[in-house]
Amino acid sequence: MKNRQLEKLTQEGKHLFSTLAKAYQYNGIDLVMTDVAPQRGGILSEAVEEGATAYIAGGKDGQKFFSNIPQYTLPYDTFTTRGEDTVASIVGCLPKGLCKDKVGLFLYAPLGDRLWGKTVESHTGSQIIATNEQNFRSYFEEKTNLSDILKAAGLTSHIIPSKVIRHNKPLSTEQVESLYETYASQEGKIVVQYCGEGCNEKGGGYSTRVVGSLDEFKDVCAEPRDSYIKVAKFISGCNSNLSICAGNLVPAPDMLGAVKNNLTEDESRFSGSTIYSLLHRARQMGINENNLVVSVQPATLKVVGDPQLTSVETNGVGNQLNYNFEQNILDSIYDIGSKLGTLMAMCGKVGLCGADLIITKEGEIFVNEINDRQQGPTESAGLNNEVYGLPALHRTAFLLNFADLKNEQVSNYLSEVGSCSREIYDQALQIPSPFYIKFISKYNGVAKQDLRAGNYALQKDAFGSWSWDLSTPQPTIEDLPMVDLTQNQTTVYINAVSMNKGDFFPKETQLLRINGVSKGSSMPFTVDEKGNSVLSSEWVEPIQALYSTILDRTQQQVATVEESTKPVTETIEPVATPTDATPTEPVEMETEPVAEEREETTLTQEKLDYIEKIASIINRHIESNQPATEVAVEQN
């Protein structure tokens, strides 16, 4: 069953994308991706298929994620590194004279104050005439700001109770006990997140620690640190990943795509007051509730910390897309996505973003964090949408950032996608949907064989034991394979992999992704009796069989790798604890009262009134875009 109106809209979006790719080629504009995660460049590969020229810089020597895009790499895996030096090294891989005078810069992971774009222009001498780069990530993903952002979006009921400690001093016993009494769950768990000034955000859950007792909490609070910490109530429930596309229809004055706002140098990345100045400046740029584009994809069932797939309790290890929660939960998730996306669009955000949600057994939904970037499931969900005649978020975001919004056909298309957001959301819940499993090394290991992306057979013998045939990939087709574990043999797609026999992989390195479409008992993830999302029992043995097939456990220490390729180890280890990183000098607890927390820039009543007004505008905007009647669903 397909909605023919949405199917027609989907085809129009693909046509506009194809036309855009050809126009870039005709006008001598290259598409360039310089990134720590080049495997996220799938839409560039599609653009090349439509006639564009593209280049990728980033990744480890020997990797080539897309057969039709030249990729320039480094001796180490750039995904495990961050910072200005890494940016310069990655961009420096592009040969001089390679790029044309004008380029469109595509990024998955913005870093710093538009650091990628500045470095690309300096190194290549090219002019960036379109980009999805903004410097909002340092604000919207900052954990100290989460409550203020959600309040401004009218999402107060979805805030996790928490307290930000705005200094880097050890806490007194009285402070620790008071915090624990206030925020510990009935099971005695409490969450500690490193954040604010001095925090080196590593991603992948490494800056979040779940503490299980008062004594452990005291130890954590006594550790030396360079940053703030956020102490939050532990919410038990299943995890969910929500993808959003947010933007506006105001053409940028100096390049292609929609007008973009950015943080200024004097705006604090750690203050709730900054949301006011972003909203105010975006208004001055012409952005308002009448020219917004916001589209919401159904949320996933996300699995975090499953011991079958990772040794780190806070690591995300997979997603089942378009998960059918109960209807009241589905409605609440859409409301969260619409309000958050609208707020970010009104701040001047253009492109993909989202949020990580926690859904309790009782049906309460809490926003755990905001992600100002393309998320892992976004592109897979978009491609799956298009198979069933629904617009894709990642293609909408690409047009918002790289097309000419002065073109009436483009702007009308984008406007219609935004107005059909709820219809697209509801329809996406009715289609077969893909999953992915992050396959992570739970120990230091050495690859037992070469492995490349492709479809592979998963088979069950006469005794019911599973094994993998990874000798030769099967011919691939455009769609993901339907995985059926009730059969003796099924096909699974493996991607995001570049493995050579003998390669050393430190503990917690992502080795590959397992992809497919499934239903019923073959779905890889489920919600257990406690309301937590976990790997299903049917998938435990196939996962164990894959570990034994591709990876040998080794005693080799990560320090050995440090000596030869230091950047590899900069972000692979969790935040150090007293047992694995002892200071050279003993740490002395303060005998005098702990310094007062650093004062935060407070919101004046005028600013609070302004934000309240914005929240009411968001509500009116969302209500006015709700479908008046149920959209007719016709037989294809």
Per-position DSSP letters for 588-603, written without gaps between them: PPPSSPPPPPPPPPPP
- pLDDT, position 78: 79
Which of 233, 260, 277 is a domain's end point? Answer: 233
Q: Are residues 168 and 112 in the same domain?
A: no
Whether the pLDDT of residue 306 is over 50: the answer is yes
Q: 25-76, pLDDT tens digit by residue?
A: 999 999 999 998 888 899 999 999 999 999 999 988 888 889 999 999 998 8
CB count in 10 Å sphere of residue 24: 26
Query: Which pLDDT tens digit goes with each residue over 379-418?
Result: 989 999 999 999 999 999 999 999 999 999 999 999 999 9
Q: What count of other Cβ atoms lies within 10 Å of the Cβ of residue 81?
A: 21
Please tell me the pTM assigned to this model: 0.82
With bands split at pLDDT 50, 70 and 90, how would you rate the model's confidence at 249?
Answer: very high
Q: Map residue 583 onto helix, strand or coil.
A: coil
Give CA separation, 403 vs 319, 356, 528, in Å: 31, 29, 45
Q: Are residues 511 and 558 in the same domain?
A: yes
**Residue 105 sits in the same domain as residue 190:** no
Instruction: Decide if 187 is inside a domain.
Output: yes
In sequence order, what are the residues at sequence separation of 6 or more whose Cβ sits closer than 8 angstroms to the Cβ of residue 498?
A: 59, 60, 62, 63, 64, 65, 452
Domain-terminating residue out of 515, 536, 569? 569
Mean pLDDT to the nearest integer, 498-502 = 89
Q: How confident is the model at residue 590 (pLDDT cuts 50, 70, 90)?
A: very low
Question: Alpha helices, DSSP H only, in 96-163?
Answer: 115-124, 137-140, 146-152
Partners of 130 in beta bridges:
104
Q: What is the mean pLDDT of residues 219-238?
A: 90
Give me the residues paired with residue 436 across strands: 319, 515
User: Do 192 and 127 share a structural domain?
Assistant: no
Judge whether 518 lies within some domain.
Answer: yes
Let me know if residue 147 belongs to a domain: no
**502 located within any domain:** yes
* Residue keyed to tokens 């298009």: 386
Same domain membership, residue 50 and residue 171: no
In this structure, the chain runs to a length of: 636
DSSP secondary structure of 400-465: HHHS-TTSHHHHHHHHHHHHTHHHHHHHHTTS--EEEEEEE-SS-EEESS-B-SEEEEEEE-TTS-
- The verdict on residue 148 lying in a domain is no
Residue bearing tokens 């007293």: 578
Say yes or no: 115 and 206 in one domain.
Answer: no
Same domain, 525 and 563: yes
310: in domain: no
Last residue of a domain, one of 551, 569, 587: 569
Whole-angstrom distance, CA of residue 395 vs CA of residue 400: 9
For helices 378-387 and 421-428, angle between their N-to-C axes, nearest 10 degrees: 90
183 in the same domain as 62: no
In a domain, 514, yes or no: yes
| Pairwise CA distance, residues 321 & 216, whole Å | 36
Same domain, 2 and 124: yes
Q: What is the pLDDT of residue 478?
A: 66
**468, 564: one domain:** yes
Cα–Cα distance for residue pair 550/500, rounded to 1 Å: 10
pLDDT in tens, 436-445: 999 999 889 9
Is 440:511 a contact under the CB 8 Å cutoff?
Answer: yes
Contacts of 403 by beta carbon, 8 Å cutoff, 6+ apart: 16, 20, 256, 257, 410
Helix (H) or strand (E) holding 13: helix 4-26
Mean pLDDT of 3-24: 95
Longest Cα–Cα distance in the chain: 74
Total count of domains within the chain = 3
In a domain, 66, yes or no: yes
pLDDT band at 451; cut points 50, 70, 90: very high
Integer angstrom CA distances of residue 543 from 39, 498, 546, 549: 23, 19, 5, 10
Residues 6+ apart with CB under 8 A from 262: 114, 134, 135, 136, 348
Residue reference for tokens 């047992």: 579
Q: Which residue has the higher pLDDT, 184 or 615?
A: 184
Q: Which domain holds residue 73?
A: 1-133
Question: Are residues 87 and 11 located together in one domain of the fold?
Answer: yes
Average pLDDT, the chain: 86
Q: CATH no. for residue 219?
A: 3.30.1490.20
The residue whose two tokens read 């913005």 is 110
Residue 587 pLDDT class (50, 70, 90 cuts): very low
Q: Which whole number is the average pLDDT over 622-636?
A: 48
What pLDDT score was predicted for residue 158?
A: 97
Going by pLDDT thresholds of 50, 70 and 90, the confidence category of residue 376 is: confident
**Same domain assignment for residues 12 and 105:** yes
Query: Which sign, positive or negative, has the C-alpha torsion 352, 358, 361, 363?
Result: negative
Looking at the predicted structure, is the pLDDT value of residue 581 above 70? no
